Amino acid sequence: MTIDLAFGIARSGLSATQRALAQVTHNIANADTPGHTRKNAEAETVSVGGQPLGVRLGEARRSVDQALIAERHARGGEAAAARLRERLLAGVEAAHGTPGGSDTLGGALGALREGLIALRASPGEAGLQREAREAARSLALRFQEIAGAVGEARQRAQDGIVEEVARINATLREVADLTERIRQDRVLGVPTGDLEDKRDLALDRLSESLPVRALHRGDGGLVLVTQGGLALPLDPRGEVFATERASVGPEAYHGTGGTLPGITFGGVDVTRQLAGGRLGELVALRDATLPRYQAELDLAAAHLAARFDAQGLRLFTGASGQVPDVTLPYNAPAAGIMGFANQIRLSDAVAANPALIRDGTHAVADTPGGPSAFAPNPPGGPEGFSVLLDRLIAHAMGETVRPGTAWASLPVGGLGPDGSLASPFLAPRSLEAYAGVLAAAQAGDRAAAAAAAERAESLRRGLDARFQNESGVDTDAEMSALIRLQNAYAANARVLSTAQAMWETLLGAVR
């Protein structure tokens, strides 16, 4: 081996060691940086015709499992969706009150029933009449408060859709920009590991909003496909999705004839294809879960007003004094059921004269399969009149419309503004029991969302630990590598020093 060759080999060793030291130092410095992965560069022997010429360090590359990354993204999307669902439904659960408490719908219905029973013992007692009236007023207010919480959650879901679409578009632009830079650096032979880490972080955020499957190309390019099969364009300056803001009322819905805006992709409505993540959850809450809650409350309020009215007491009405027609479909305009929970109130007549709870507001004709005949207590009639109170306690608050004839069950299908929704439970015949089942089902959804979020987050934590073990920076291992490289650097430096001394000795001998 010539002295020149020894110089070249030692120089290449120093250069490769310096680059390796820089890479190890970079790994250690970024060990706590979110998304940073360990980068390794392999040393390669350089030779020509079997003659060694030195070493060179290859490109620093990441060591990652793309399938593991995809699974982490998926679990992150599930957890984000469940946490969002939990947050939006928490307000509805709180509005329902403490299970089994007096502040629930069932508790308010029970208080009205007890007020009627107390009044039945002394029908002429003005104080008991007023107490029964206030129990009815409180019940109507409970319906309004819970329906208001449902409407607020639904409006938040609509507003969230707009915000989420903007977030998705911004993240897609970020991914597109990073992808362009990665492809350009690949052409120039520049390491792209750090840019790929940043892109994976962006894809992680994107999957929380809208789960996508990332298909990697050899040139650093990327194809993103949603769960619904949409291939998303990557344009650093473009807007992939579009939607609009809107006010949401009980009658609003998305779809044919509806007033709620969809989410468009290239001008085409793709709302139903955007499943998963926060965006999919917001759409499900706005278009299915919360409209069903609203319909169940509307039915309970409408049947409450209709059952009392059928027995001869118009105790509850809507804003214009109407009582819904519960024989018609939920979404029939003439029925007056949709949105009734938001406007149910104590009737003006009973508000002005609580004695009507004893006497009645109107006569009832005998109807086959319907209520039996009833005549109100006339002015100046007996103070102990209890016929109406018996009817209200036994029938309006019970399971039968008249002795031996059950009320028709409350509908569990044909719900929602477009009639496409259904309750997940069988409807009891009594209003008090229906209110209990309704509250349990609606409050249970929040608990189920919390449990789903915990499961997804637990899986995500396990995947994170595995990813960190396989691709993260182990500072102990990096420090060991740093010591080895420092020793290698010193060895190469000694070779150079020795070669230099030999060269100077040779020159001295020549001179």
State which of 229-233, 346-350, 463-467 shows the largest mean pLDDT.
Answer: 346-350
Q: Which residue has the higher pLDDT, 40 or 54?
A: 40
Q: In the predicted model, what is the mean pLDDT of residues 241-250?
A: 97
Rg of the chain on CA atoms, in Å: 37
Q: Please check whether residues 480 and 384 belong to one and the same domain.
A: no
> In the prediction, which pLDDT does 498 show?
65
Counted residue by residue, the chain has a size of 511
Quickly state the pLDDT bin for 479 (edges 50, 70, 90).
low
Q: Most distant CA pair in the chain: distance in Å?
A: 143
**Whole-number Cα distances in Å, 101 to 108, 225, 294:** 9, 48, 22
Q: Please check whether residues 106 and 20 belong to one and the same domain.
A: no
Structure tokens that stand for 121 in this block: 């013992």
Q: Where in 127-227 does DSSP place strands (E)?
A: 212-216, 222-226
Is residue 9 domain-resident? yes
> In the prediction, which pLDDT does 192 show?
87
pLDDT at residue 56 greater than cutoff 60: no
Quickly state the pLDDT bin for 190 (edges 50, 70, 90).
confident
**Three state DSSP letters for 444-465:** HHHHHHHHHHHHHHHHHHHHHH
Is residue 353 domain-resident? yes
Q: Please check whether residues 10 and 88 belong to one and the same domain.
A: no
Tell me the average pLDDT of the chain. 87
**Whole-number Cα distances in Å, 294 to 151, 159, 202, 285:** 8, 18, 37, 12
pLDDT 10s digits, 338-359: 999 999 999 999 999 999 999 9
Q: Please check whether residues 47 and 165 belong to one and the same domain.
A: no
Q: Please check whether residues 198 and 342 belong to one and the same domain.
A: yes
Region of 378 please: left (phi>0), alpha (psi -120 to 50) or beta: beta
Q: Please check whether residues 107 and 26 belong to one and the same domain.
A: no
Q: Please check whether residues 212 and 344 belong to one and the same domain.
A: yes
Q: In the predicted model, what is the mean pLDDT of residues 462-472?
A: 76
Question: Residue 187 and residue 179: Cα distance in Å, rounded?
Answer: 13
Q: Domain span at residue 57?
A: 3-63+473-510
Q: In the predicted model, what is the mean pLDDT of residues 216-235?
A: 92
> In the prediction, which pLDDT does 499 show?
59
pLDDT 10s digits, 387-413: 999 999 999 999 999 999 999 989 999
> In the prediction, which pLDDT does 69 show?
87
Evaluate whether 315 touches 351 at the Cβ level (below 8 Å).
no
pLDDT 10s digits, 297-318: 999 999 999 999 999 999 999 9
For the beta carbon of residue 351, count every other beta carbon within 10 angstroms.
Answer: 13
Is residue 199 domain-resident? yes
What is the value of pTM for the model shown?
Answer: 0.87
Is residue 217 domain-resident? yes
> In the prediction, which pLDDT does 191 show?
86
Is residue 466 domain-resident? no
Question: Residue 152 and residue 34: Cα distance in Å, rounded?
Answer: 36
Amino acid at 91: G
Q: Please check whether residues 183 and 39 belong to one and the same domain.
A: no
Q: Please check whether residues 57 and 84 belong to one and the same domain.
A: no
Quickly state the pLDDT bin for 50 (edges 50, 70, 90).
low
Question: Residue 482 and residue 81: Cα distance in Å, rounded?
Answer: 43
Last residue of a domain, one of 457, 481, 502: 457
> What is the end-to-end Cα distance of the chain in Å, rounded?
23
Is residue 167 domain-resident? yes
pLDDT at residue 420 greater than cutoff 60: yes
Question: Residue 303 and residue 324: Cα distance in Å, rounded?
Answer: 8
Evaluate whether 355 touches 129 at the Cβ level (below 8 Å).
yes
Is residue 467 domain-resident? no
pLDDT at residue 210 greater than cutoff 90: yes
Q: Please check whether residues 376 and 486 belong to one and the same domain.
A: no
Evaluate whether 418 touches 331 at the Cβ level (below 8 Å).
yes
Structure tokens that stand for 155 in this block: 């409006």
pLDDT at residue 5 greater than cutoff 70: no
Structure tokens that stand for 352 in this block: 């002005």
Mean pLDDT lowest for which of 33-47, 77-91, 156-170?
33-47
Q: Please check whether residues 42 and 114 belong to one and the same domain.
A: no
> In the prediction, which pLDDT does 464 show?
81
Is residue 238 domain-resident? yes
Question: Residue 8 and residue 503: Cα distance in Å, rounded?
Answer: 13
Number of domains in the chain: 2
Q: Which residue has the higher pLDDT, 509 or 69?
A: 69
Q: Please check whether residues 388 and 438 belong to one and the same domain.
A: yes
